[in-house]
A and B are shown apart, each in its own frame.
Chain A
């Protein structure tokens, strides 16, 4: 965590230190009671506390669950966490909007695939390939970062995005480069070797179940990167990056080698991505160009923004939250619960533990039952949609789920919901409170009938909304620091 440990009161004006900045710690107001205590302790915890927490959680997971699916999801989460750490360097510390980040991930994966597969007949040992790809990634990042010396903000974003497009084009058409098959083209490279460590080939599956070894390797990768980045952050380079991010011009005026710093940010980020890419290729045992798409970029960005740009632990937490949420959204059965849990939590957070919240929830529930009864009275087919057992059964008595949806109902209700939600932000608080009730109910209707029907599109809609919402409401994410922009 990158916050000052020293929260004691300064004994008097310190020479050479801005008073306002020095008292920054005091201005954090404490929540009362035991929550405030816990927060203070959390803030004062040593930097490795979070790391130990993550590693322990992931290491103990296989003992708790023998389910191959859970382990697989945990593995992917660990991969994403490492990826997010890398993006954090470029975006969170360097302040550079790198939209082509995933291209380095692809370079790492494809590089490993080319060196450890029947593609060229080369089968380099893992301990050679992985560090090699890290170096290659760093060089690639350096090269891509070269244009960044002359470009700012939006332009850099576009150039990096185009770099991603170029990478994709090359990968897809790579089987036709001057008559040679370099990347396997659209068919990709298959039969990639798994990792070979301590003299053993580590198989990806045992009797079909995902191998625990790779989960441990993934978390080890994460830990290595986390530790390395922490020390990097605490060093002069880290401080230089922070100053670069806050105000590049001032940093330059102070004599920082701004260009070199930008290049270093790109390099380290790319190296991390390539590092992760090798593991990805080994576990997938194949690489395809379609995987490394812009959608993946957006996913990793959401993780970084949600977790808090600039905060290592935050970014990891963001990765966990986003990936778990996306897994829930894969299956309509699992995803159903998600909206209710998250919705209630969000409302609780927004209103606090007040009477208003209780009244609101009660109103929504009553409204729901009333609407359901009315709909049933008009036409029983409107509420007779499929429902499963238990909680789902109770729920189906509350939400309106028709057996069949006329074509226009979906789009109309969805657009209606979006308009209502936007209108809510424009209303006065009292009206907002009232209109919130039907909006929530319409929301559950749209969720059950429209969004769940296409979990794939829903995933990205949620990501998109999260990005917009986070930027407007809480740009520092969960654990990040609020940026101070001095104009």
Chain B
């Protein structure tokens, strides 16, 4: 039972990170019909920004500000930094190609992904960077928390999961309750009609990128709070995030959240109960099956494209 609890906790923490990335994919795909390959690398940039802020404020061994403020600043910094990066990517790499054949922005996205990952490798080397949260405040983030059975749920896990959920709820409210959210949904439904209705498409797209990239940035910081980050993690994380988005149904926000959690649990249980060696293979194969037989995912809707 303890194993199950621990694995569930692992799955929940990983899954909430995947959900944040999947949301970014879903949002951008909704308005642009483009798979943003560079999204995983934006995630990576977020984790590096968090590291930078941590170091500027004294590092995990000797922070100059209270722990709560430190964490908040890191996450906010990651969100803001990645939002700016996302806007830049959209403006310079995707906007000129908005009317080009579909293959063009995809290849451009590949180029951006490679450029980001290798630029960071150039600037910061290929080694892993550890936030060292384990040593922060005498390890209190790990020792405090509560127990379920024999399993200790550390404070850091609680913070991570709750923050991720808070962000997702905020996003959901934004998209369903505000005018901008309505504009986003309209644009993702039919871009030309939305333009004719007087919605400024450019602004909506920029806004989408801001939100999506900010989520990725937050995800990056929260991810790196637990595990080391490196310049090369963007690629694999991007694939996982995309898997989560497709499983949940690309274009659907609750779908992305669900997909992320499902993927997190699947990884944890497969690795925990069966074998770690083939877990990637299983997940990728499941995804391919999904795409072949249920491309709309679990919660998405099969769309009918008019020609």
Q: Point out residues on A near B: beta carbons under 8 Å.
A: 91, 95, 97, 99, 147, 150-155, 157-159, 161-163, 165-166, 169-170, 173, 176, 249, 294-295, 298, 301, 305, 410-411, 414-415, 418, 422, 425, 450-451, 454, 457-458, 460-461, 463-468, 471-472, 475, 483, 485
Contact = CB atoms under 8 A, between A and B. Distances in A.
A485 B7 CA distance: 51
B239 interface: yes
A294 B235 contact: yes
Given A162-B287, A165-B239, A176-B277, A154 B35 contact: yes
Contacts of B280: 165, 169
Given A154-B106, A161-B239, A472-B108, A450 B122 contact: yes
A302 to B, nearest CB: 8
8 contacts: A169-B280, A173-B278, A450-B122, A454-B121, A463-B111, A466-B111, A467-B114, A475-B104
Interface string B76-93: 000000000000100011
B285 A472 contact: no
A226 to B, nearest CB: 24
Interface string B274-303: 000110110011011001100100000000
B108 A467 contact: yes
Nearest to B35: A154
A413 B307 CA distance: 48
Interface of B: 29, 33-35, 88, 92-93, 96-97, 100-108, 110-119, 121-124, 235, 239, 242, 246, 277-278, 280-281, 284-285, 287-288, 291-292, 295, 307
A485 B97 CA distance: 13
B115 A414 contact: no
B115 A461 contact: yes
Main secondary structure of the interface of A (DSSP, over half): helix
B115 A485 contact: no
Contacts of B103: 91, 95, 97, 153
A467 B33 CA distance: 20
A176 B116 CA distance: 35
State the majority secondary structure of interface residues on B: helix
Contacts of B242: 158
A149 B297 CA distance: 18
Contacts of A99: 110
B285 A166 contact: yes
B277 A468 contact: no
Given A95-B103, A159-B288, A457 B118 contact: yes
Contact of B122 (A157, A166, A458, A483): A458
Contacts of A295: 114
Nearest to A177: B278
Contacts of B288: 147, 159, 162-163
Contacts of A159: 288, 291
A457 B100 CA distance: 29
B172 to A, nearest CB: 25
Contacts of B281: 166, 169-170
A472 B104 CA distance: 8
A485 B35 CA distance: 21
A411 B122 CA distance: 8
B88 A465 contact: no
Contacts of B117: 460
A351 B111 CA distance: 26
Given A464-B112, A464-B115, A472-B96, A173 B122 contact: no
A305 to B, nearest CB: 7
Contacts of A176: 277
B112 A468 contact: yes
A207 B44 CA distance: 47
Contacts of B107: 97, 301, 305, 467, 471
B41 to A, nearest CB: 10
Contact of A468 (B29, B111, B307): B111
Nearest to A422: B92
Max chain A CB contacts within 10 Å: which of B111, B115, B121?
A: B111
A207 B12 CA distance: 59
User: Most A CB atoms within 10 A — which of B88, B107, B242?
Assistant: B107
Nearest to A450: B122
Given A301-B110, A305-B107, A472-B96, A461 B119 contact: yes
Contacts of B100: 471, 475, 485
Nearest to B243: A162
Given A97-B103, A158-B35, A173 B112 contact: no
A169 B93 contact: no
A475 B285 CA distance: 33
Given A165-B284, A468-B108, A154 B102 contact: yes
Given A249-B307, A471-B108, A414 B122 contact: yes
A458 B123 CA distance: 11
A318 to B, nearest CB: 14
Given A162-B288, A425-B92, A464-B113, 8 more contacts: A91-B103, A153-B102, A153-B106, A155-B291, A158-B246, A158-B291, A166-B281, A460-B115
A155 B203 CA distance: 27
Contacts of B295: 150-151, 155
A471 B34 contact: no
B110 A467 contact: yes
B114 A414 contact: no
Contacts of A305: 107
Contacts of A475: 100, 104
Given A158-B242, A173-B278, A411-B124, A298 B291 contact: no
B227 to A, nearest CB: 21
Nearest to B123: A411
A467 B111 CA distance: 5
Q: Which of A153, A170, A425, A468 has the most C-beta atoms of chain B within 10 angstroms of its own C-beta? A: A468
Residue from the set B92, B110, B115 with the largest chain A CB neighbour count within 10 Å: B110
